[in-house]
Amino acid sequence: MDKVIRDVKFKGDFKAFVSFLRTDPQFHPKTGDELLKDAAFIAKTIEGKLPALFGKLPRQPFTVVAVPEYLAPNYTSGRYSGAPISSKQAGEYWVNTSNLPNRTLYTLESLTLHEAVPGHHLQKSLTQELPNVPEFRRTLYINAFGEGWGLYSEYLGHEMGMYKDPYSLFGRLTYEMWRACRLVIDVGIHTKGWTREQAVTYLADNTALSLLEVNTEVNRYILWPGQALAYKMGELKIKEMRRKAEAALQADFDVRAFHDMVLSNGTVTLTILEKMTDRFIKEQQEKAKKKKA
């Protein structure tokens, strides 16, 4: 984050740069339609890059819509809202168009990667297509896996060539810092006696999230112990399994096959994901031997 500040030749410290991002009009949409159009363009750009990283893509499309008005004032900046694959509806990537001075364009790439593709839309739509499994398996959602995949999808933005704009890169990094901060906040609130004010100050001082988002998020951590920790646990495990497969397979590692494997059984526990990875490595090694024979 400090490097980005130097690269854009900003005159001031971290706190001043965050204040600049939160208040300068260039970093905030002027209208709800502008925000939706930007989100849709980013989503479509990402879709064009998916075949390089995934062998299997879902049949169900998705659209970009505003968060419903009745929810928007106290809602997050974005969310994925799925639809049954048997219905006549597409999945929906919700973007919050209320309170526009608190909606930040520099975090929109990370948000879209997480909530739409290759994040929750791709993940949940593929899960609905699972053949020969009980119905509950198609709707099961374990936060460590599902949200871990969301964070991993933000990371994949680097491999896709997203985050080319330095401010979007700072947005990506501020999302990383946000996820680190909330590990501290969750523990602070639920085991260390932190007040709400302490949590708000900590998150506001260390990230470039809008102050509205800071307050909305802290409310969630108060009400939902451990959920924020699950995100990072899942992301770390998926990255660990990828490193394990890369090390074992080396030149035979296929990132498309790896991603297809991770999503091949829908939502699973992290222990099961480890077993799936071990089986994947063994199968890929056997395929490589046959090719060389």
Q: Is residue 293 part of a domain?
A: no
**SS3 (DSSP) at 29:** coil
pLDDT at 293: 83
- In this structure, which amino acid lies at residue 142? I
Q: Side-chain half-sphere of 8: how many Cα atoms within 13 Å?
A: 19
Under 8 Å between Cβ of 82 and 121: yes
Q: Is residue 167 part of a domain?
A: yes
Cα(116)–Cα(96) distance, integer angstroms: 14
Cα(268)–Cα(288) distance, integer angstroms: 27
pLDDT at 203: 98
Q: Look at residues 53, 61, 200 and name the one whose alpha carbon lies nearest to residue 124.
A: 61
pLDDT tens for residues 103-147? 999 999 999 999 999 999 999 999 999 998 899 999 999 999 999
Q: Is residue 243 part of a domain?
A: no
Domain that holds residue 18: 2-229
Residues of the chain with pLDDT under 50: none
Residue 175 contacts by C-beta under 8 Å, 6 or more apart in sequence? 107, 110, 111, 154
pLDDT at 292: 87
Q: In what order do the strands lie in the sheet with 91-95?
A: 62-66, 91-95, 78-81
**Domains identified in the chain, total number:** 1
Q: Look at residues 108, 106, 112 and name the one whose alpha carbon lies nearest to residue 20.
A: 106
Give the predicted TM-score (pTM) of the model. 0.96
